[in-house]
């Protein structure tokens, strides 16, 4: 089967021509070929060469006027950018693995050797770039048929492929989630993979169009609990006295999908994944109330740094954002159940700051009831809350609130050093603004400061 019509960019014929001049066989391979066949855009091209990939990269760059070639001698690879393409060259190789490591022993090989070491048949497809065979598909493992059947399969026996490199198990889940393919186990081998490599694959699953599919596959494949036990522990429904609670694992995945429909924000998706993470630890049964999870938002927020640290995720503002979302995710829900006061809205705006819009996305996504009338009612209540947030924000300007009176101004006004009264006055001003007793403006805050100071026996410094 020939696919030369798909390789109409001069880049491919130029590489093939130089390979012919060098007496080398050159092939486009892997993800580029797979995406070409499923008509998915891809600007990353992997070229495998029987011989030196570095040498071919340097000559091709000169011929194309591509400029700098980046060489990775330890890996025998080289790459350059040409217009909006990124092209990487590597010599064909064969690999073998030792039991306790995922770092392969590498030797020079043929195109067949290189295809044999690939993770899945759909990534082992190669297209010849040499003039005589330009466009010919090399498909020793039936990858084209697997694409037609929307199937993810390993070139070798699964035990061999996955045991050699256990990260491939996560990659299989990721491709299944991204492409909508099915997977046709050596899970314990995952322990030799670094957390950084695991969370890289996990992020690709989380960022897929319907991330729940990937997590369900991770669970079904006996992988999830090995690196994300907190999420796995959400599974299951417990019954007492004929009363059961919802399965928080599947609820969480539904919330994640709901967020994914409206936001590409990776860390908001992480927030959806972790918003109920402490429910197993806070679950209690009461004869009158049934099942409760009191305080799961607070305990969940305290779990976030531990999970991020173990998974080698960033411990910076991204983590703090997720922590804030988990901590606050019930607050807007509470506003839908009770009469909404300006004070409650002000406090939510104060605590959420610029993340209030993201929080409302999460809260709306958290409505997963099968009762359609209940969902409509909750969404209508949220519309009221959102309008109230807008009205109060326009009036009081409380997003990322900064007190109108600083500690330095209090000290200079009363001629006092840093001390407890400073904090007491600032706190009283903040509370007065949040309660609506005074407007959020300097003159009103200063008047209250003078009154509180007088009540404390402080005198204004002349």
What residues does CATH 3.30.460.10 cover in the chain?
A: 4-144
Exposure string over 294-324, b if 16+ CB within 10 A, otherwise e: eebbebbbebbeebbeeeebeeeeebbbbbb
**Is the CB of residue 148 less than 8 Å from the CB of residue 192?**
no
Quickly count: other Cβ atoms within 10 Å of residue 69's Cβ: 18
Instruction: Tokens for 116, please give them.
Output: 């044999």
Contacts 24+ apart (CB under 8 A), 426-435: 428/452, 429/403, 429/404, 429/405, 430/401, 430/403, 433/346, 433/396, 433/398, 433/401, 433/404, 434/343, 434/346, 434/347, 434/350, 434/398, 435/343, 435/346
Characterize the bridge pairing of strands 151-152 and 182-183.
parallel
Give the domain 4-144 fold.
Beta Polymerase; domain 2 (3.30.460)
Strand partners, 86: 44, 81
Burial of 440 by CB count in 10 Å (0-12 exposed, 13-18 middle, 19+ buried)? buried
Q: What is the pLDDT along the chain (462 residues), one digit of tens a residue?
A: 677 777 888 899 999 999 999 999 999 999 999 999 988 888 899 999 998 899 999 999 999 998 899 998 878 899 999 988 999 999 998 765 554 454 555 577 899 999 988 888 999 999 999 999 999 999 999 999 989 888 888 887 665 566 566 677 777 788 877 787 777 644 555 555 677 778 888 998 999 999 999 899 888 877 788 889 999 999 998 888 888 888 999 999 999 999 999 999 999 999 999 999 999 999 999 888 899 999 999 999 999 999 999 999 999 999 999 999 999 999 988 787 667 778 888 888 888 888 999 999 999 999 987 778 888 888 888 888 888 888 877 776 666 567 788 889 999 999 999 999 899 999 999 889 888 888 888 889 999 999 999 999 888 886
What's the CA gap between 410 and 120, in Å, rounded? 68
* Whole-angstrom Cα Rg for the chain: 30
* Torsion angle (degrees, nearest 10) of CA 204, 210, 215, 221: -100
Which pLDDT value is given to residue 186? 46
What span, in angstroms and rounded, lies between the C-alpha atoms of 253 and 237? 15
Please give the pLDDT value at position 130: 94
Query: Maximum CA pair distance of the chain?
Result: 97
| pLDDT of the residue at 190 | 55
pLDDT at 256: 97
The predicted structure's pLDDT at residue 281:
94
What are residue 126's DSSP bridge partners?
A: 29, 138
CB of 434 within 8 A of CB of 344? no
Where do we find the tokens 């009762």? 371
Task: Report d(CA 270, CA 206) in Å as an integer.
Answer: 8
pLDDT tens by residue, 175-198: 877 787 777 644 555 555 677 778
């Amino acid at each position: 089967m020939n696919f030369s019509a798909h390789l109409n960019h001069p880049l491919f014929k130029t590489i093939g021509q130089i390979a012919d001049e060098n007496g080398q066989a050159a092939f486009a391979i892997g993800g580029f070929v797979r995406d070409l066949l499923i008509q998915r855009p891809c600007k990353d091209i992997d070229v495998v060469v029987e011989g030196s990939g570095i040498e071919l990269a340097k000559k091709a760059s000169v011929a194309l006027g591509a400029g700098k070639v980046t060489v990775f001698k330890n890996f025998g690879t080289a790459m350059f950018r040409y217009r909006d393409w990124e092209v990487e060259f590597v010599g064909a190789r064969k690999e073998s693995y030792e039991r306790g490591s995922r770092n392969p022993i590498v030797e020079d090989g043929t195109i067949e050797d290189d295809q044999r070491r690939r993770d899945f048949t759909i990534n082992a497809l190669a297209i010849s770039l040499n003039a005589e065979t330009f466009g010919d598909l090399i498909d020793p493992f039936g990858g084209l048929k697997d694409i037609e059947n929307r199937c993810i399969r390993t070139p070798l026996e699964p035990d061999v492929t996955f045991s050699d490199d256990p990260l491939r198990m996560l990659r299989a889940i990721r491709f299944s989630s991204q492409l909508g393919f099915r997977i046709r186990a050596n899970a314990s081998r995952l322990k030799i993979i670094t957390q950084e490599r695991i969370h890289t694959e996990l992020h690709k699953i989380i960022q897929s169009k319907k991330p729940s599919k990937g997590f369900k596959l991770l669970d079904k494949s006996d992988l999830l609990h090995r690196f994300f036990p907190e999420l796995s522990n959400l599974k299951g429904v417990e019954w007492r006295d004929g009363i059961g609670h919802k399965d928080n694992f599947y609820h969480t995945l539904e919330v994640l999908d709901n967020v994914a429909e409206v936001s590409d924000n990776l860390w908001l998706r992480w927030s959806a994944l972790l918003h109920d993470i402490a429910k197993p630890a806070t679950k209690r049964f009461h004869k009158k109330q049934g099942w409760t999870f009191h305080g799961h938002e607070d305990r969940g927020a305290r779990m976030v740094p531990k999970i991020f640290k173990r998974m080698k995720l960033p411990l910076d503002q991204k983590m703090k954002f997720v922590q804030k979302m988990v901590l606050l995710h019930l607050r807007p829900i509470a506003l839908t159940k009770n009469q909404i006061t300006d004070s409650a809205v002000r406090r939510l705006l104060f605590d959420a700051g610029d993340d209030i819009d993201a929080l409302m996305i999460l809260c709306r996504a958290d409505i997963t009831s099968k009762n359609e009338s209940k969902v409509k009612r909750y969404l209508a209540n949220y519309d009221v809350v959102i309008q109230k947030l807008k009205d109060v924000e326009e009036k009081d300007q409380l997003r990322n609130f900064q007190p109108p009176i600083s500690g330095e101004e209090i000290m200079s006004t009363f001629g006092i050093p840093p001390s407890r009264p400073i904090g007491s006055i600032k706190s009283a001003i903040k509370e007065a603004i949040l309660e609506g007793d005074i407007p959020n403006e300097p003159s009103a805050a200063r008047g209250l400061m003078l009154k509180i100071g007088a009540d404390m026996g402080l005198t204004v410094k002349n």
